[in-house]
Each structure stands twice: as structure tokens, then as C-alpha cells.
Structure 1
Amino acid sequence: MTDPKQTFDVAVCGWWYGKNYGSILTYYGLNRAIQNLGHSVLMVHEPLGYNGFRVEWPDDIVSMQFAERVGYHTTQQMHFTELPRLNERARTFVVGSDQLWNPLIGRVNSDLFLDFVSEKNNRVAYGTSFGNRGTKKFTPDFIATHAAQLQRFKAISVREGYAVDTARDIFGAKASLVVDPVFLLPREHYDELAAKATVAPEGEYLSVFFLDPTEEKKAVAQGIADKLGLEIIRVIPNPDDGIEHCRTLWADEPRAQILDEDRPENFLRTYKDAEYVVTDSFHGSAFAAIFEKPFSSIFNTKRGADRFKNLMSSLGFDETRRVRETDSHEDIAANPHVTREIDYSTARDYISSGRESSMAWLKEALDPSTTGSAALYPRQKLTLTAPEFATGGSGWKIARRGKQTRLRVARDGAVLGNLVWTDLPEPLVAGSAYQLRIDWTPTTDAKKVNIHVRNPETTRFRVVGAVNVEGARGQARTDTLTFTVSEPGFTQFMLGGVHFTGRRAGADIRSIEIERIPTGALAAQAPAKRKGGAPAGGFSSQAKALALKDSERQVRSFSHARSADGVSGAQARMIFHAHAIEKGLSRSNFRPGFGGRAVPGLSKEMNAWLAADRDISDEFLQSSAAVMKAYFDRHDQLGTDVSHFRQLFSEAAQDLIDGTTHSEGGVLPAGQVRELVGEVENEDEERSFLDVVYGRRSVREYTSEPVKDEEIARAVQIAMQSPSVCNRQGARVHQFEDPDVIKKVLDIQGGFAGYEMPPRLLLVSADLDAFLFAPERNQPFVDGGLFMMSLLLGLTQVGLGSVPLNTAMGTEKETKIRELIDIPDHEVFISFIGVGHFDESVLVPRSKRTGVERALVQHKDA
């Protein structure tokens, strides 16, 4: 680790410590390029404290070992609040490359926009990516926060052509196009690294590098090897624990040789000596081009297909290098571009000229003697103080009084066509966006005042916004409007007398400020809110805004579930695979040796859990072990050899499986009770199912009898019998009994007005970490709803009254509630439930149910 007092010319921030050859070699290219320009470099490790996506990285992972071998100077991981200390250790801070500005990635936070860098130091971005093409992913908050940060940069460069437009249009920042950092170093440099590999592959072989390996991609690689007559397939696992998975996936392919030591040098050597390369990796494709290897690329839509298209277009290949995951052997055989003969002349020119121009850009950006600004529009405000107004007749009285201008509508002047205007500091540019702020005191009985801009040459004017002034007559205020200009010639601010009614109508105007802003910043203005925190506008606009928020939360949780500290995600993956095995064990037409996907998947998750030294008594782990014990015992009884599956489990996992006494895994007869739970005092065990279902009522008034924890626990245990997708059990119940907390929550929720607060309040939520695939986007609410209904019936069974209180609320209410009761962001609200004992004579709504014919639609044969 580097001396914490040592100073450097440049500090690099980015994901150089990731478990991915692309990230590792991207930052290696950037590090060496900066050093080759004569600057000393400090690599800044990932700061902690933003959210669950930021984790502590061990020192023995591939990237950290590589950093030590190549002699990086690195910082220790620190809390993000400590980042400003680095201003004393470097004069220029560089962020990039990688998708560091993609808002859909949970690890993207303000440090990657260099918010901590002081004004005395320079900020530079090299080849940083916003991710795929498109701007809908940028939320108003994201733009509002980061546009200002990007405009503080000295220089910005991006690696995709469309990102230049994104930087300009959304963030108001100038960006240059550069090559990916891996292209900054000549091939000879990578040859030298490859020479340090611990492997020496021999013979003619197909090199396969899949970040997201599947059976389908494997079949594509096999088809390419068959067409080219290659007898060896050398598989490069991704260093994110990919070796075991590759061994399993390729177990039935005798030509496959798995690279079993994770090192960037080994990755490069295997590429360098290959006859042909097939990959689904962006940087895997880039290195095929660097070594001028014939290759095929599966554009990885999961990681951004637009990046592949941009790269292939730049290299001059367009779609010729593309194969698809769905391609059959016949498709591969018929594809004329799957050939060892590839023309690299255009790619060679692109890499050479791109390296030259990009290094020149980097040299200028890092030169401490040069100045610059990425701000497309200077952030100065052009202000008119006590502005001079004019009018076309006698309909207005105008007087300047000290630091304000007084405008008064003459008698009978509140009519259309009675206009007053002042010249703006500069003409408005067609196609541009502006923010206008007015400090004034309007005096009118009208509910709103329209603000206009005017073209004095044509006398045309247009409304740029309306200010709500209802109930604010004579009150000093500041109002802000943002708008776009559709045509040239507007140079004046204008008001119309028709909006100023009543006694002494008019306005005292102290100042008008106007500022040109990026067009994308229009979306950054917080939408008006209706009562309750819902966005203003029609149903469609509200629904869209809320859906985007839900989507962002799901994407963040998807990443969190796969992070090093994503325990819920690990549990979900274990039980997903274990449940698949249980289903196989339950088949009447049992298929010995089944589990080609589920068993390797479960072994990977159990091995990782135990290697991380997590709780060995965890129920998901123990249940998984019981499932595998049942699996192996069943095959032993049948005399079927499944030792190849057993070998996938680590020694610790095998010991756990062999020694488990956990009986709640595997299969059981359908008529047998799955589990028994203890009784609760006063619980009426004789109640029939129909008594419970038809006896459940929404009760809102409760007695003073205390509610016992064990009563609620029993009801929750009953609810846990609810089905959930692949038995992943994502439902959660939060229980509250503090009267102050309950009141504050229900006051925000708004559905319990007029009643005494319930003795207990429950919140049913669903943990998004338990859901693994994009098509499961609605499953948290399905599983959560099933659980909630069972919980209501469980509460009825144990003799408690309850009432569900919906969580159909806007983001403002939800945020307040999350802050009040500390609910994790990766849990979505299903419903609150008020709980208490009740007097059976208390009145409740009848809530008549319609006839069964309304709900039941019978589809019979014709």
C-alpha cells in the first residue's frame, strides 16, 4: 500500500479493482498512458458508505494481485466523506473509463463525478461512458445533481459517439470522442504482458471468452470450432468465480480446455496465440482487434449492445463480426464471415490514428499549465435589477422606485392586448433552453399570471410559463420558469394586463435573471406535486414517473443481490436451484442423473457462501444441504453414479451435506403436513377454514387488551405457508408498537383518520433481492399479496382483528415513511396492517361481495 502522505500528479478514480478482465486492462491502459506522458499516478480505491453496492474488496482478488505485480500506487478504501483529503495528494483527478456515468448501475455515485475535488485542482474524464444509447434513464434528480458537477470539469472525453450528444444535450457539457483506454497502448506492450503468463497454450485452438456463458453461446462456439476444423477449444473464464461454472458447462465437450488460473497475463496470452476468438465481451472484442485475430462477437445485450455496435463501426467491421446466441450450427456453417481471413486495414488505421489523437487530447487535458472548461454554457446569471419597462400605450403606469420597478395597470387596463415589456440582456437562441427567475411582488385577484417572451421586430410573443399567484396578492416572492425557444428573434420579457385584476393591480419587479441551460436540464426541474406527493399531470404522466422510480429500484436491487454483501440474493439463488432439484425429485417419472443446470448452480452458491465464512446455520443453506443429501441418497438407492456432481461441491459443502440432520428439504407425500408449530394461548384450533375466511373483517377499532408478540409471530408463521416463486420467500413483516411511530406513519399514509391508533402496526414488504430475473418484475407484488392475504387470515385465526392499509402512494410519502421507520431501499411496500384485539359487537362495513359469476369465467369446449 502506498504511503498516505506521498503526492502525485494524477489520481485515477474508477473500477480498476473489479473482477473483470475488461475493467482491469482498461485501467491498466489508462495508468500506463498517463505515466508515458511523464506523470506520476495514484489509483484511488472504491470509497465506502454510499449504499449497499459499495463493498469492501479483499486484497487477494485478481485485480489487486495484478495491481501489486505491475506496481500501482493505490489508496486504501475509505469512507466517501474522507475523499476531500485526496486534494492534498494530487493536482489532477481523472475519472474513467467504464460505464461510470450509467445511472442504472447501483455503484454510480457522486464520487465518480468528482464532487469531492476542490476548485484548486483539475477534473478530467477520459473515455467515460453513460452506458447504452438513450436518455430516458436519466432522472430529474440525477441530471440536476450531476450536470453541475460535469460542468466543473476542465475536460471531458467519452468513448461512444452518441455520448457526445448526451453530454451536450442532457448535461450541458462539451465532450470529445476518444478511443477506449486499451487502445492507448501499442500491441507490443500487451505482448510483453502476455510473455509473463503462467500458461503456454499449444496447438491451433479456438479461444472462448464469455462474460455470461450459456448453453446457447457454448453451442455457437462449438459450431465455429467445427466450421474452422479446430480440435482444441480454450475457454477463458471470467475471473468473477467463473472457473467452476465453465468446467460444468463444458464438461461434455472433449475439446474444451479450461484456463484454470485467473490472471490478466494469461488472458492476453490465450488471446495472442489463438487461431480464432469468439466472445460476448466488449473488451474481449477489442483485444481480438489489438492482436488482429479473426473473431466473432456476440453483442451482449445484458451489458450494452450499443457499445458493441459503436466499436464495430469504428473498426470498420459493422455487423460482419457479429454472431447471435440463437445461431444454429447450420447458421454458423453458412455465415461467410466466420473465416480466418479478415481485413484489418481499417481497424489498424482506426486504432493507430485514434491512439495518436487521444494521447494528444490526454496530454493537453493533464497539462497543469493549460486551462479549460467542459461547461457548454457559462453558468453566469444575466441579471436585470429594477428593469426599465415600456408599453405601447397608456394602459400601464411605470415608475422606478429605488431597487424595484413598479408596474400598475391603468383603469380598465385588464384587457387583452395591453402589454408591458423589458429588453433581455441577450437575444434568446432558437433551439436552446433557458431558466428565468423573477423576484417580484404581484398584486392581482387572478389565480395565475402568464409570463411571455416577445419579438420586437414582429411583435409576436409566446407564453413560456404560468405562475400560480392565487392567495398571494401583495406578497413578495421569487418564481422560476424553464422553457425552450423554438424560433429566433425573442429579446424581451413581457406581461399582459389581462392577468392583473382588482384594486391597484400590477407588480413590483426587483430583478429578472436569465440563464441558458442544457436542454436535458428541463427534465431536471422537479415536477409539480399534487396533495399526497403524486406528480402533477394526467394519469399517464404520473404512472410513467412512478414506474420509472420502481424500475430504478429494481435495477439497483438486481445489482445489490449480486454484490459481495448481497446475502438475500445469495439465499435466493440457493433456494432457486434447490427448489428446481426438489421438483426433479418429486417427479413420478423420475429421471436419474437430472440437474445439469441446477446442481452446478447450487454448488456454486453453497461453495461461495461457505468460502465467505457466512452463517453455517442459515436456514437456506441448511435446506439446500438437505436437498442435496436427498438427491445423493436417492441416486445411491438407484445405483446411479452422480459423483461428477458431487465433485462440484467444495470439501466444506460435502461435509455439510453428509452431516446434515435438517429434514426440511427434499420431497414428502402431498398429504403429509410440511411443518408443525406451537399453539398460541386462547387460539381456537377448532375453527374451520370457512369460519376463518368468512369471519375475517376489516376492523378499525380495538380494545385496550395488549397484543402479544407470540400471537403475531404465530400469524406470520401461518402466512409463511403461502406459495412464492421457486420458494424464494421474499416477503418481510415489520412490526411496530411505539404509539408515536404508529401515529406518524399512519398520518403520512392517510388511511386511518378519525380512529384511535391501533395497538400494533405491521408493514408487509417484499425483498427485491429475492427476485433474480427481469421477467419477474411483478413477482414481488404477486408473492407479497399472497403472503399478506395469508397473514390477514392468520391474524383472524389467532383471534386478532386487523385492517389492511394500502401503500398506493407517491414517492414523497414513501420517502418520508422510509426515513421514519428505516425500511431498506431494496424492499418494496405491499401493505400496512393495523392489528389489535376487538369487541365482536363493534360495527364494521358490510363490504358486500358480488356474485361468483362476475369473477369466474368458464371456458368450455365448443
Structure 2
Amino acid sequence: MTDPKKTFDVAVVGWWYGKNYGSILTYYGLNRAIESLGHSVLMVHEPLGYNGWRVEWPDDIVSMEFARRVGYEYTEQAHFRELPALNQKARAFVVGSDQLWNPLIGRVNSDLFLDFVDEKNDRVAYATSFGNRGTKKFTPEFIAQHAAHLQRFKAISVREGYAIDTARDIFGAKADLVVDPVFLLPQEHYSELADKATISPEGDYLAVFFLDPTEEKRNVAQAIADKLGVESIRVIPNPDDGIEHCRTIWADEPRAHILDEDRPENFLRTYRDAGYVVTDSFHGSAFATIFEKPFSSIFNAKRGADRFKNLMSSLGFGESRRVRETDTAADIEADPNVTREIDFSTARSYIESGRASSTEWLRDALDPKTEGSAALYPHQRFTLTAPEFTTAGDGWKIQKRAKQTRLRVSRGGNVLGNLVWTDLPEPLHKGSAYQLTLDWTPTTDAKTVNLHVRNPETGRFRVVGRVSVPEGKAQPRTDTITFPIDEDGATQFMLGGIHFAGRKAGADIRSVTIERIPTGALPAAPAKPKGGAPSKGFAAQARTLALKDHERQVRSFQHARSPEGVSGARARMIFHAHAIEKGLSRSNFRPGFGQRAVPGLAKEMNAWLAADHPTDDDFLQSSATVMNVYFDRHDSLGTDVSHFRQLFSPASQEIIDAAVVGEGGVLPAQQEREITEETDPGRPFLEVMYGRRSVREYTDQPVQDSEIARAVQIAMQAPSVCNRQGARVHQFEDPTVIKEVLDIQGGFAGYEMPPRLLLVTADLDAFLFAPERNQPFVDGGLFMMSLLLGLTQVGLGSVPLNTAMGTEKETAIRKLIDIPDHEVFISFIGVGHYQQDVLVPRSKRTGVDHALVKHQKG
């Protein structure tokens, strides 16, 4: 913590508080390097309030305890609205390192582009990363939001060579290449820190540091230990609750010793004294090089394989240090690069020269006397409020008011050549790209209005954008377009009378804002197929949508593992619990089963309770009952599984012992799973199945919440992968909201709005593995069909309304009804009471042979 009245030379913004040795030591290197230049440093804690990815960090985690041990001055966590106050506490702001500018990471927000920093203060980026090499992840919205901030930096440096091109081509900013912050300190500095460790490993051992440990990676490490003749393996868990996981994976390896105290000093000590290192970590590879320890690196594609390739190339190793997760013992034995004889001369030269040049770069960037150089061109932005308009004849009536300018087309003015324009304070520059934001109220019977820029010297004008105008009453609106400029001389914004028809045609213009943006912020031109034929657009649209889906899945994967990812924690609990249930249900019961599932469940239950989540949670209670049944079954058989019981914390054991029998475990197949309120129990299944219709016209009879709830309870009997129950139902009864949603959805035109509207979604947090990419839609579809049958069972009419829509419609709906990003749309369902004789489409079903494909023996 720091004295609230104290001021500093430099404030550092970044992920120094993360539960990851790489992040912790990255910012330690940067902090100490800045201090060595004679500057006082304030470490800025993560601001809250942006979205669900930003969380309150506990004060007793490994990074915060380290911060206090090494004497950081740091701020408390606060809402991002309080960030501007830091301008009074520091003269310069440094952002970096880490993947702080990677749009696929949910925690990336505008504070990491230093949007809150005053113009009088310097903005510097040190070794900041955009993630992997690809640039298609940068949407026009992301670029438009952040490019202007990057162009205001005094100096920008990146740690990957390809990021220089990314900064220039996508964000219009100049960047220099520097070394990762961990290389800013000499080996001796880290060795002194390692001397403060609470451990003192001895002998010849293999150090293993896996951020994402798997059995396959363990096998690779074991094969390397076998080849090198190492008798001891010291495993360094990732400090993000990795100890229990490592114990599970290495349980059958007698040579393995798990480091059971999370400290950066212990990490460094284990590395420094190792005989060989195996890692899947970028910074794990970096520290092996710093200590000049022979090592093998699994390039971690999950965390960016390009980063590893870039680092290894810079160090002069190329692919020589690489081993693969799929390598067998024979592969390792035959690999000549798995050896203790490694030449570090090139790496040593790179680190030493890079440290010198990067430190000098940092010295210049933080010197208040030096000039900035990040912007490739001067930033250009201007706003015209209630702008002055001019027309050549009498085709327009122009009324200038205090807050807006009213433009009206004169009688007969709805013709080509009837123009009205306003002068821009600066010319638009050839080869540049711009964003135009128009705050206005158009009045026209036309469906679209073209927006133009004009060269008054030549009279030439060009269309820079086209906006759709909905029918009906004129409404205030804001339209934003982006466009390139391919010739000099455009100094006017222009409208044409041809686009304004009908009564009182024209527009009220409140403001026109034009801002220069990087050319990379422009939407990509539609792809053309080979042969020059115009693209139909299907392939391009499908690819864009697939990339959007991929980005959402990646964000959700990260969200599910974050402290606020409660659904993910539940999914992991029930994944392991269901595996144990399956073992309990086997006729050929195998006593002592659960070598993976039981430790996995113990870890998740312990973590749930340690995070102070509710103890009455259904998923926790069900998991506890499963273990209650598991232990009772083994007690009855006289099989000792006390080693499994010891994996559960005392709090978890207490809940297991008090678990209610029947909440989990096994039951006879003919027994009902849950006993719920009856809903016409005498109604035959086939009557419900064959009697379900898509009903679109409903009576005025109110729909009761209890009716919807009974139908949802029926739907919850639908199967889901490993019983993870990822389906969600959002219920709406506000007529205005229902109409606005269905107007966007577009599938209910011509009908009165339904009394109730449901939206079935699937929570991506419930899906744990990449091959489950389609499972949300499978589980969601099973649930939706069960819900339709449930609604029929309770006497309600319903109609499924598809969510096959592009990102624009989906984004509008999400904003309107506040659906979390990690839930994917399955289907809307209109619901209401109905007259039995109301007409519905026949929708004839084809014969069985159309759907049933028989595969004969042989």
C-alpha cells in the first residue's frame, strides 16, 4: 500500500497482481529496471467496473504477498471512474508487459490503452504484446476504440517483432522492439532473490514447470528424466491453485516432489539449482535461459505458440529446444537436442545487448525532456456542433438554431444535383482513413440516405457511407461510418436532396464529428472468388460468424476459470461427480475406482468452499452426496479409501458427511429422479408428443409464472453432457421489450405479440474442452425440445423462433435484454394460452424412411 498523499515519477499499469510466476516476475523486472533509472514507481491495481472479467483480487494471494515482501508501493482496487485521479499522483504512466492488447482476452479494456491519462502526462508502453501474429482478431470496433489512444503515446515498445507491423498497419502507431522485462535484470539479481527461498533443493534433479499440466506432458518429462538418468523430479505447480492438480498427475511417479509453497523465490531457487528444466511456459523458458540451464520447451499453443517461436529465434535456439506433447519415450530417446550440452553463447549475447539497448530505450521514454515518437501522423479530430450549411440555390431551407441546424428540402427539391454542405475546419488527407459520426434526426420516405464528402475546388463529391432509415416517425439517432480518402481536396461534408422525400423531408443536424483512424480499422473488402467473379458473400459471412463464435468460446473458457466463473466451477464439480456416479452404477463394481475423478472433485469442492461460495448450492450438495455414497459403499465392502477422503478439506468432509441421501449417487432405472408437482399425470406421452403445435395466436388469459416454472422443471429432465446442465431460460413479460426483441428477430411479423417470451441459451462456462465446441447447441436443443413438450403438458401454446442471425442483430438483442456474453442463443419461444380450434400450419412430416438410415451387418 502507499501513502495517499505521496506522488511518484512513474505509475505502472498491468497484470502484476496475477497468480502466475511469469506475470509476477515480468513486472518485478520492469519495476526494478525503472527504479534503477532513478524513478519512484507506483504499481496500479486492477480497476473494477468494466465487465465480468474484472474481479476483486484477494489480499493474501502469492502476488500480493510478494509485492509486500519486495516493498512495492501500490494502489487499492477501485472503480475505473477513479483512475483519472492518478494523474495527480504520477508524471508518467507505463503499460506493459504481457498480452495487454490482445482482444481475445476478456480482461483487456481501455485502461490498458491508458485512456484515462491527461495530455500533460507521458504515456509509455514497454514490451506490450498483441498476442499471436494474426490480425483478424482485431475488429473495426476494437481498432476504432483504441487506436486513437495508442497514437497519443509518447513511446511504444513491443516484445515480438511482428507486433511492430501490427502497431503500424492496424493502429497507425510506431513501435520499437525491446526485450521482455525479465531480461532487464541480470542473472545475479534473480540469484539473490532465489537465496531468500524457503526451500533448499539438493542433488541432481529435473525441474518441471507446466502452466497447463496434462498426463501427456508428464510422460514427456518422465521420458526426459529417464534419458538423462535423473533420479529426482521437482515439480513447480502454477500458483493458480495448481498444487492439487500436480499431485494427481504425478501421483504414480515416485521420483516426483511437488513444491508445496507458492513463492516466486522458491520458483527461482528450483530453477537455479536444477540440472535440467522442462516447461510449457514462455517465461519458464526465459528463466531457464537466464540461469543457463539446459532445457526443453513444449510450445504452449493455448497461450500463444508464436510467442515461443519468436523467443527461441531471438535466443538463437530455433526449434532445437522444442519437444512436443505428443512425443513418445522413443521420440525423446532419439532426439539429439535432449541433452545437457547446450551452447548459451548466442542467448547470452542477445540478453546482454538487449538489456543495454532496452534500458536505454526506457531511459529516453521516461525522460520528461525527450519528445514523443509513437504517432505515425498527427491525430486529427474535430466536431461541428449545429454546423453552418450552405446550398447553391433555393433547393434547401436552412435554419440555424442554438443546438442544431434544421435542413428542409424545398418543394420540388427531391432531385439530383440539389446539394447542401458544411465546411470542415481541416482538409481530409489522401491515403488516410476516417470515422464520421453524425448526430441527427433524418426525415424522409426513402429507405437509405447517402453521406458524402466534397471537394469545393472541383465540385467533385463521393459517397462515403450509406445509412438505412426506418419507416415511421422521425427519431433522433447517431450513425457512425468509416471510409478511406483516395485523393486530396475533400473539405466539405455533403447531403443530396435526392435522398429526402415526403412531407417535411430533411434533417436536423446536431453535430458532425470526423476523426482520423488507422487504415486497419476499415472493414475488409469482400473476398472475390478465383476467376474474378463477384463474391456471393456466403463464404465471407460464414467465416466471420465462425471467428466470432470462436472468440466467444475463448473468452468463455477464460471466464469459466476466473474467480467469478461460478458456472465453470459448478461444471467442473459435476463433471467429476458424474464420472463417480457412473462408476457407482456399474454392475461389475470396481472397488477403489476414481483415481482421477475423486482428486478432481476434491480440488473443485475445496476451491468452492475456499472462495466462500454458498454451501447450499445444488451442485455442491449433489457432489457431496455422490462422495457420501462412494465412501459408504466402500465402507460396506471393507475397502480402505481413506487416502481419497484425506484429499477433501475439513470443510468439504463436513458437507459430505451431512449430505442428504438421494441428492446424488445412483438409483434404479425405473425410479423417478425427482418428485415434482403433478401436471395432469394421466395425460399420455403420445398425446403430448403428437399434440404439440407451433401456435402463434394467443388469448388474453394471463400466463402464470408457476405454469412456466412447471414446464421448465419438465425440461430440466433433458440429458446434458456429464449432467452439467448448461441450459438457461430467460423469461420476459414486458410487452414493450417483447416487441422490440421480436422486431429485431424478425420472425413474428403479422401477429399480435405473445403474452410471454422465453429465450433458451446455453452457458459456455459449462463446457470444459475444445472438442465440445458444438455441445452447447446439442444440449441446448435437447433442453429446448423438452421445454416445448413441457409447455404443451401444462396446457400452454408455444412457438420456437430461431436465433439464426448475424452479429449485428445478436449484439442489439444482447444489449436490449442484457444477456451475458458467455451464453449462446439457442431459440426464442413465444408462449400463451390459445383456443383449441385456432388454425396452425399443417407442417406435414415425411415418412420414417426419410430420417431412418439402416446399416445392415457386414
TM class by smaller structure: 0.7 to 0.9
The answer on whether the counterparts of 1:623 and 1:662 sit within 8 Å (CA) in structure 2 is: no
Aligned counterparts of 1:788 and 1:216: Cα–Cα separation in 2: 38
Match of 1:575 in 2: 574
Structure 1's 641 and 804: CA in aligned 2 closer, same or farther, altered over 3 A?
Answer: same
Structure 1's 330 and 652: CA in aligned 2 closer, same or farther, altered over 3 A?
Answer: same
Superposed CA deviations along residues 746-791 of structure 1, whole A, max 9, x for unmatched, are 3333333333332222221111211112222222121111111111
Aligned counterparts of 1:382 and 1:727: Cα–Cα separation in 2: 56
Matched, 1:839 2:835: yes
The answer on whether the counterparts of 1:449 and 1:469 sit within 8 Å (CA) in structure 2 is: no
The answer on whether the counterparts of 1:377 and 1:516 sit within 8 Å (CA) in structure 2 is: no
Q: TM-score with structure 1 length normalisation? A: 0.85
Match of 2:708 in 1: 712
Identify the range of structure 1 (101-110 vs 622-631) with the bigger mean alpha-carbon deviation.
622-631
The answer on whether the counterparts of 1:711 and 1:798 sit within 8 Å (CA) in structure 2 is: yes
The letter for the 1-side match of 2:793 is Q
Match of 1:666 in 2: 665
Structure 1's 470 and 706: CA in aligned 2 closer, same or farther, altered over 3 A?
Answer: closer
Superposed CA deviations along residues 518-555 of structure 1, whole A, max 9, x for unmatched, are 3312238999xxxxxxxx98333333333333333222
Superposed CA deviations along residues 249-290 of structure 1, whole A, max 9, x for unmatched, are 112111111111111001101111111111111001000010
The letter for the 2-side match of 1:229 is G
Note the C-alpha offset of 1:481. 8.2
Aligned counterparts of 2:730 and 2:367: Cα–Cα separation in 1: 56
The answer on whether the counterparts of 2:239 and 2:262 sit within 8 Å (CA) in structure 1 is: yes
Match of 1:34 in 2: 34
Matched, 1:139 2:139: yes
Note the C-alpha offset of 1:121. 0.6
Q: TM-score with structure 2 length normalisation? A: 0.86
Match of 1:644 in 2: 643
In the alignment, structure 1 segments of 5+ residues that lack a partner are 387-413, 416-424, 455-460, 472-476, 502-511, 528-535
The letter for the 2-side match of 1:626 is T
Match of 1:625 in 2: 624
The letter for the 2-side match of 1:588 is S
Note the C-alpha offset of 1:848. 1.4
Match of 1:127 in 2: 127
Correspondence for 2:851 among 845, 848, 855 = 855
Structure 1's 117 and 470: CA in aligned 2 closer, same or farther, altered over 3 A?
Answer: closer
The letter for the 2-side match of 1:207 is A
Aligned pairs (5 A) from 1:82-93: 82-93=82-93
Matched, 1:315 2:315: yes
In the alignment, structure 2 segments of 5+ residues that lack a partner are 389-415, 418-425, 471-476, 500-511, 528-534
The letter for the 2-side match of 1:283 is H
Match of 2:785 in 1: 789
Aligned pairs (5 A) from 1:729-748: 729-748=725-744
Match of 1:115 in 2: 115
Aligned counterparts of 2:536 and 2:573: Cα–Cα separation in 1: 44
Note the C-alpha offset of 1:449. 9.0
Q: Taking every aligned residue pair, what percent have the same amino acid on both sides?
A: 77
Correspondence for 1:825 among 821, 829, 833 = 821
The answer on whether the counterparts of 2:427 and 2:490 sit within 8 Å (CA) in structure 1 is: no
SS in structure 1 at match of 2:11: strand
Aligned counterparts of 2:337 and 2:849: Cα–Cα separation in 1: 61
The letter for the 2-side match of 1:628 is M
Match of 1:76 in 2: 76
Aligned counterparts of 1:564 and 1:481: Cα–Cα separation in 2: 38
Structure 1's 809 and 251: CA in aligned 2 closer, same or farther, altered over 3 A?
Answer: same
Structure 1's 802 and 428: CA in aligned 2 closer, same or farther, altered over 3 A?
Answer: closer
The answer on whether the counterparts of 1:451 and 1:467 sit within 8 Å (CA) in structure 2 is: no
Aligned pairs (5 A) from 1:321-340: 321-340=321-340
The answer on whether the counterparts of 1:585 and 1:666 sit within 8 Å (CA) in structure 2 is: yes
Note the C-alpha offset of 1:462. 14
Identify the range of structure 1 (50-59 vs 777-786) with the bigger mean alpha-carbon deviation.
777-786
Superposed CA deviations along residues 551-588 of structure 1, whole A, max 9, x for unmatched, are 33222222111111211111011011111111222233
The answer on whether the counterparts of 2:467 and 2:479 sit within 8 Å (CA) in structure 1 is: no
Identify the range of structure 1 (130-139 vs 580-589) with the bigger mean alpha-carbon deviation.
580-589
Note the C-alpha offset of 1:470. 12
The letter for the 1-side match of 2:335 is N
Superposed CA deviations along residues 686-739 of structure 1, whole A, max 9, x for unmatched, are 221111010011122222333222222111111001011111101111222333
The letter for the 2-side match of 1:282 is F
Note the C-alpha offset of 1:649. 1.0
Note the C-alpha offset of 1:75. 0.2
Match of 1:558 in 2: 557
Matched, 1:604 2:603: yes
SS in structure 2 at match of 1:540: helix
Note the C-alpha offset of 1:483. 6.5
Superposed CA deviations along residues 88-111 of structure 1, whole A, max 9, x for unmatched, are 000100000000001111100000
Structure 1's 26 and 434: CA in aligned 2 closer, same or farther, altered over 3 A?
Answer: same
Structure 1's 485 and 47: CA in aligned 2 closer, same or farther, altered over 3 A?
Answer: closer
Match of 1:585 in 2: 584
Aligned counterparts of 2:468 and 2:615: Cα–Cα separation in 1: 64
Aligned counterparts of 2:319 and 2:834: Cα–Cα separation in 1: 70
Match of 1:60 in 2: 60
Structure 1's 427 and 673: CA in aligned 2 closer, same or farther, altered over 3 A?
Answer: closer
Structure 1's 578 and 226: CA in aligned 2 closer, same or farther, altered over 3 A?
Answer: same
Match of 2:345 in 1: 345
The answer on whether the counterparts of 1:763 and 1:833 sit within 8 Å (CA) in structure 2 is: yes
Match of 2:689 in 1: 693
Aligned counterparts of 2:436 and 2:699: Cα–Cα separation in 1: 58
Aligned counterparts of 1:468 and 1:649: Cα–Cα separation in 2: 61
Superposed CA deviations along residues 810-831 of structure 1, whole A, max 9, x for unmatched, are 3333333333333222222222
SS in structure 2 at match of 1:523: coil
SS in structure 1 at match of 2:522: helix
Aligned counterparts of 2:382 and 2:802: Cα–Cα separation in 1: 48
Aligned counterparts of 1:668 and 1:513: Cα–Cα separation in 2: 67
Matched, 1:296 2:261: no
Structure 1's 449 and 686: CA in aligned 2 closer, same or farther, altered over 3 A?
Answer: closer
Matched, 1:761 2:760: no
Aligned counterparts of 2:584 and 2:260: Cα–Cα separation in 1: 33
Over the aligned positions, Cα root-mean-square deviation in angstroms equals 4.1
The answer on whether the counterparts of 1:622 and 1:662 sit within 8 Å (CA) in structure 2 is: no
Superposed CA deviations along residues 426-484 of structure 1, whole A, max 9, x for unmatched, are 99888x76789999x9xxx9999999999xxxxxx99997868999xxxxx99998667
Aligned counterparts of 1:591 and 1:572: Cα–Cα separation in 2: 25
Matched, 1:222 2:222: yes
Aligned pairs (5 A) from 1:356-755: 356-380=356-380, 518-523=518-523, 538-679=537-678, 683-755=679-751
SS in structure 1 at match of 2:33: helix
Match of 2:207 in 1: 207
SS in structure 1 at match of 2:830: strand
The answer on whether the counterparts of 2:483 and 2:522 sit within 8 Å (CA) in structure 1 is: yes
Matched, 1:771 2:764: no
Aligned counterparts of 1:376 and 1:738: Cα–Cα separation in 2: 51
The letter for the 2-side match of 1:369 is K
Aligned pairs (5 A) from 1:168-247: 168-247=168-247
The answer on whether the counterparts of 2:526 and 2:540 sit within 8 Å (CA) in structure 1 is: no
Note the C-alpha offset of 1:342. 0.7
Structure 1's 791 and 436: CA in aligned 2 closer, same or farther, altered over 3 A?
Answer: closer
SS in structure 2 at match of 1:251: coil
Identify the range of structure 1 (108-117 vs 611-620) with the bigger mean alpha-carbon deviation.
611-620
Matched, 1:10 2:6: no
Superposed CA deviations along residues 49-103 of structure 1, whole A, max 9, x for unmatched, are 1111111011110000000000000000000111001000001000000000011
Superposed CA deviations along residues 106-157 of structure 1, whole A, max 9, x for unmatched, are 1000000000101111100000000111101111111111111110100000
Aligned counterparts of 2:770 and 2:585: Cα–Cα separation in 1: 28
The letter for the 1-side match of 2:631 is F
Following TM superposition, the consecutive aligned residue runs of length 4 or more in structure 1 with deviations greater than 4 angstroms are 425-430, 432-439, 445-454, 461-471, 477-486, 489-494, 512-517, 524-527
Identify the range of structure 1 (372-381 vs 169-178) with the bigger mean alpha-carbon deviation.
372-381
